[in-house]
């Protein structure tokens, strides 16, 4: 299970950033170079694993956009002079660490560190400062258990995509949309993950979806996320997974719930699917709108229990709306 977790979701995130970087107009030459390389070799892992430019493309995305941010804790075994002029010395014993997001963008390690440039990796020996600074999967004997699976997936996926396809960046995507947000894994900004047309094509009616979760009681162990509301019985009014403020109806007390990690990935799909069952069977009331929860209703069953664990007497409600105010309100 750990292997599957470590080598799947993080790979999807990394693939998204690679596709983003290579789809930008200013990186057209990088895309052409990569396509030339992967079209000149076979399609198996054994044939693509040593492609230097393909590996450079992947390394550069891991440098700029690590899927997980973390430091490498190390105990000092001897004194380290930090600032000799001012007498700043770290004694032996303390544990120190630095975020990979920071040291992988250090201008002392690579020039022009905020630019996506795979060329910087070509010909770099393992002993180089750049190679040593790349720690998206940690270092040492207890590093990422899923790293080999993840790297294999990236090599095969990226080579297959650019062998066959030419990608262009969606005109609606802004650089700020791809800003990194810490939601357990490091994901692109929510506004980058879907567009109104994506969601319209995925929903049964071709329209958007607003949802409300109406609970008899809120989970006592999650007071910051779930708050019982009056009048007309306790309700939970939530802006799950959006980060965008929404209008709270007059007279309704509310704490906007930020159930970020609860709806990532498969759980989000199952929540949407379970809500869709209620929509199709007509078992819903006129709801208080919450923001769009996901692409649409591709799959069916459980997930609602994961979102509302510990809440008794649940009722769920869904309505279909005609239009969207902002693509920032949507998630993928």
* CA–CA gap between residue 17 and residue 101 (Å, rounded): 15
User: Which residues line the annotated binding site?
Assistant: 144
DSSP code per residue over 249-299: PTT-----B--TGGGSTHHHHHHHHHHHHHHHHT---SPPPB---SS---S
b/e string for 119-146 if b means 16 or more Cβ within 10 A? ebbeeeeeeeebeebbbbbeeeeeebeb
Pair 295, 204: CB distance under 8 Å: no
Name the pairing type of β-strands 208-215 and 185-188: unpaired
Nearest to 138 by CA among 93, 221, 223, 74: 74
User: Which residues line the annotated binding site for heme?
Assistant: 144
> Per DSSP, what are the bridge partners of residue 316?
213
DSSP code per residue over 30-66: HHHHHHHHHHTS-SSHHHHTT-HHHHHHHHHHHHHS-
Could you give phi then psi for residue 211, rounded to 5 degrees? -140, 155
* CA–CA gap between residue 205 and residue 26 (Å, rounded): 38
Pair 64, 179: CB distance under 8 Å: no
- Other C-beta atoms lying within 10 Å of the C-beta of residue 53: 18
Name the pairing type of β-strands 88-90 and 80-83: antiparallel
Sign of dihedral through CA atoms 310, 311, 313, 315?
Answer: negative
């Amino acid at each position: 299970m750990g292997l599957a977790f470590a080598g799947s979701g993080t790979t999807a995130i990394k693939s998204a950033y690679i596709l983003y970087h290579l789809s930008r107009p200013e990186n057209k030459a990088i895309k052409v170079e990569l396509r030339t390389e992967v079209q000149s070799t076979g399609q198996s892992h054994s044939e693509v694993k040593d492609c230097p430019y393909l590996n450079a493309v992947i390394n550069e995305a891991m440098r700029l956009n690590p899927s997980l941010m973390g430091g490498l804790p190390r105990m000092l075994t001897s004194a380290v002079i930090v600032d000799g002029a001012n007498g700043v010395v770290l004694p032996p014993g303390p544990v120190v660490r630095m975020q990979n997001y920071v040291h992988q963008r250090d201008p002392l390690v690579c020039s022009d560190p905020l630019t996506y440039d795979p060329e910087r990796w070509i010909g770099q020996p393992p002993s180089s400062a750049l190679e040593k600074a790349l720690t998206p999967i940690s270092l040492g004997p207890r590093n990422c258990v899923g790293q080999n699976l993840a790297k294999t997936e990236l090599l095969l996926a990226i080579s297959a995509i650019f062998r066959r396809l030419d990608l262009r960046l969606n005109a609606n995507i802004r650089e700020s949309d791809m800003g990194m947000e810490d939601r357990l894994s490091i994901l692109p900004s929510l506004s980058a993950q879907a567009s109104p047309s994506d969601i319209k094509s995925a929903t049964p009616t071709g329209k958007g979806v607003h949802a409300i979760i109406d609970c008899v009681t809120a989970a006592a162990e999650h007071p910051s996320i779930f708050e019982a509301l009056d009048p007309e019985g306790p309700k939970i009014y939530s802006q799950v997974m959006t980060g965008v403020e929404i209008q709270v109806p007059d007279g309704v007390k509310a704490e906007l719930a930020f159930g970020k990690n609860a709806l990532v990935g498969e759980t989000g799909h199952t929540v949407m699917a379970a809500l869709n069952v209620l929509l199709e069977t007509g078992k819903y009331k006129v709801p208080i709108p919450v923001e769009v929860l996901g692409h649409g209703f591709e799959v069916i069953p459980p997930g609602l229990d994961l979102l509302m664990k510990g809440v008794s007497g649940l009722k769920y409600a869904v309505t279909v709306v005609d239009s969207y105010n902002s693509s920032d309100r949507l998630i993928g």
